[in-house]
Structure 1
């Protein structure tokens, strides 16, 4: 290992990160600066920050590893990410969100919903949901970065986890959203370079695009019979229609994450940072290309890693992670492939790619957790900017500690599942009322409240007691009833979102039609 090169690259990376965080600190003079970066961010910076916050180590390591098991069927998630996560999000949600946020004079996503429905309960319930569920997603992101450092640098996992978590904490703590936007944009550029280099070198290593895909297709006969029985049709094909694996790929990974991006509080806030609707439209192209390279490359390389592992060890990717008697770990497929197959310089570049992916997403997560705790759960009428900033920074610290604890507690192979779980919960709880807040004047505060509460109860109940993967991880069903799940097939493997989202929307519509229309607040102070 060329430690001199690594230390030089690390020093440059940290130096730039610290400098940009300092710029954010210098330009953070008010709560508006801390929470929405002053509302005057350049469209390109906003798009890069949106993309780098959206794409984390969960996508690259967790979902890239999932592609190593389920194949290129995950590329449908890339399609959804670009069409829904960029085009629909920017054009149909972003423009209206920015417009309404300025009209309501709000600075956070919970405050946005609360002001739209003139409901302190909705604001606090939304903030509480963020505080309780966001750390799960943040922990998955932390784990992804730490797993790569553990593999590539032969570093202790806990040490790796602590190092970059503390770095992220520092610049969010001091720089607020301005510091986050600046560093996210820089990290987005690093991520783009790293992923472009990875896909080029992967295809070169495996004999070119056509040859690599033919080799991957030929591995169909090596798929374990247990996976075939569940619907696996090879690494270049979709799982058998309506099979257990088909439902997992489509309902949990593609649908849950592909649509779930619309209801992500940390992404919705990004639309509040630009000065005009034109800025959001101008960011479309940058966002689409960025997402294509991030997810498309990760899923393609994850699937193709099987070719490399078979040619150099006779095992498929997941089995290769079990070398030395260790348990197979889907989260180690991408780190192991890069460590063994790529040149040393790319291993270092990809280290910073993953650090950038993790840090850019974590910074947005810690920021939204901090504002939810300090500003939305504890609204202080008449509080000075200095008091609001101090509370926000305390909230950042609390969110960091909870996330770190979860990252140390969660089991192996959890990244993709934890990410999909968070996205699914946010989609069921927030998406119906968020969309209705923008486009349906007849919606009522009562309808929104009933929808959110129902979605939370239904989704959580399915996760803890019906959906087999999550029920087995949490173990609550086993402790109470002595079985891993109370469900019956196919509901034990169909994602909870398939039930919770329609129920949430139906309750929203029915309750709104039966109650009085909400009175839209004109200023945030009404809360």
Structure 2
């Protein structure tokens, strides 16, 4: 690792911390810390949603999957693109409106409690618990990715690498809250986008053009050219089903809630989808080109293919910037997850149950302390250097998609849904994912989000219809939000 690369990397980290310090001055209450005062423009909302969505998975997991198996990884990309588009198209505008109408709800548990007038606090507590459970795994996946980056790039011990990455992310999330997270995500999203265009193009040019790459890949592994290679019907369904996860990811849909206006949704959707489609294709073709480039000396860890390209193809200063893009992908997701988790503790546990009269300053500090505690637990889970980024992400993604996806969609579009339906959906969806994940063979090889999503949807409908209809007040509020 050259001095130039190291200097570039350090400058990048310092810039992220500076953003955290800047927004520390602008964070005076819990609304600022959790939702940035609903002040995001469409560009920041779109890129911060995309960057926090994709994580290290986009620059490590997906290129690694394409390097290991070839173009059959395209099915995940198709599923994700469809899911993201439908989420922006149908959920974004309605959720932005409804969360404001429902007592200016700041978090997803807060919205669900207000939406269904749940005085028992059960919806808030269960949904906050689900957030903490799955985000701890999700955050640990980012910690693993960060550890691999520092270990591969700087030759550090994995454990030391893990702590260095964690300290930087914790610092600016701790300081600046939602606005720091959103603006760092915006710049990180731009950097990720550039890197995912530059690296595969440079690799293909270096190899002599796309035709040469295809020929070389065919000679190394002919099946890598076939999008159906090794794919069963269940495998394709499981890959496409990643798109179902979008409707229930708290760190993504909070960006919808934070938009200045619902009128910004179409612009944000266009920006977000262009960013996403080109980013996914860049990641796949990075891994695909890697099959040809590293044919004579196969990589020990497929998930380092993007990192290896940055070091063999580029000058040290450029390599430093591209490595910073990987860290951007990792940081942009972890910071959002830490913030949503700390919000759940401050707003949905501490304030709702223990300190109803807590001051705004007190709640902000509870949120900040929670960031540190959750991060430490995630570091412990990430302590195994052999952990797969993709496996950890898929479990957490499936958990959120199955537990919250149907609940959010039906709460926005079905007036007859009530609190019992919401509770049944949250419990059954998350439980199905946890149980299904432990089973193996045959039908159980289906991605756990599919049965979880189906069970959650059925539970909501059945329990809502078997119990009393929502009150007139709730139904009037539904119509107000709809209008």
TM-score, reference length from structure 1 = 0.84
State the distance in 2 between where 1:419 and 1:218 align: 32
Partner deviation per Cα, 1:401-439 (whole Å, 9 max, x = no partner): 111111114x62521111111111111111111100000
Unaligned runs of 5+ in 2: 478-483
How many residues align? The count is 469
Q: CA deviation at 1:462?
A: 1.4
State the distance in 1 between where 2:476 and 2:12 align: 44
1:288 to 267, 273, 284: 273
- The DSSP-based 3-state class of the residue aligned with 1:234 is helix
Q: CA deviation at 1:251?
A: 4.0
Distance 1:68 1:60, change over 3 A: same
Q: CA deviation at 1:287?
A: 0.8
What is the match of residue 71 of structure 2?
72
1:375 to 343, 347, 356: 347
State the distance in 1 between where 2:240 and 2:26 align: 39
Indicate conservation of the 8 Å contact 1:118/1:518, yes or no. no
What is the match of residue 483 of structure 1?
none
What is the match of residue 204 of structure 1?
205
Q: CA deviation at 1:240?
A: 4.8
1:193-272 pair list within 5 angstroms: 193-221=194-222, 233-240=223-230, 242=232, 247-248=234-235, 250-255=236-241, 257-272=242-257
* 1:442 equivalent in alignment to 2:416: yes
What is the match of residue 385 of structure 1?
360
Distance 1:20 1:522, change over 3 A: farther
What is the match of residue 390 of structure 2?
416
1:430 to 375, 386, 404: 404
Partner deviation per Cα, 1:79-130 (whole Å, 9 max, x = no partner): 3333321x21112111011000111111011111221122221111111011
1:41-440 pair list within 5 angstroms: 41-85=40-84, 87-104=85-102, 105-119=104-118, 120-221=121-222, 233-240=223-230, 242=232, 247-248=234-235, 250-255=236-241, 257-310=242-295, 312-313=296-297, 320-322=298-300, 329-378=301-350, 379=352, 380-409=355-384, 412-440=386-414
Indicate conservation of the 8 Å contact 2:109/2:123, yes or no. yes
Indicate conservation of the 8 Å contact 1:151/1:339, yes or no. no
What is the match of residue 14 of structure 1?
13
Partner deviation per Cα, 1:131-166 (whole Å, 9 max, x = no partner): 111011111112112212211221221122111211
Q: CA deviation at 1:345?
A: 3.8
State the distance in 2 between where 1:263 and 1:344 align: 40
State the distance in 2 between where 1:384 and 1:109 align: 21
Indicate conservation of the 8 Å contact 1:463/1:496, yes or no. yes
Q: CA deviation at 1:24?
A: 1.3
Partner deviation per Cα, 1:449-492 (whole Å, 9 max, x = no partner): 1122122222211112x13xxxxxxxxxxxxxxxxxxxxx4224
What is the match of residue 517 of structure 1?
469
Indicate conservation of the 8 Å contact 1:55/1:294, yes or no. no
Farther-moved stretch of structure 1 (349-358 vs 489-498): 489-498
Q: CA deviation at 1:358?
A: 0.9
Q: CA deviation at 1:59?
A: 2.2
Indicate conservation of the 8 Å contact 1:24/1:182, yes or no. no
- The DSSP-based 3-state class of the residue aligned with 1:107 is coil
What is the match of residue 481 of structure 2?
none
Distance 1:400 1:154, change over 3 A: same
- The DSSP-based 3-state class of the residue aligned with 1:491 is helix
What is the match of residue 491 of structure 1?
443
Indicate conservation of the 8 Å contact 2:247/2:409, yes or no. no
Distance 1:307 1:247, change over 3 A: farther
Distance 1:241 1:45, change over 3 A: closer
Distance 1:341 1:493, change over 3 A: farther
- The DSSP-based 3-state class of the residue aligned with 1:56 is helix
State the distance in 2 between where 1:14 and 1:381 align: 38
- The DSSP-based 3-state class of the residue aligned with 2:229 is coil
State the distance in 1 between where 2:205 and 2:105 align: 50
State the distance in 2 between where 1:273 and 1:365 align: 16
What is the match of residue 2 of structure 1?
2
State the distance in 1 between where 2:217 and 2:469 align: 56
TM-score, reference length from structure 2 = 0.92
Q: CA deviation at 1:356?
A: 0.8
State the distance in 2 between where 1:64 and 1:20 align: 30
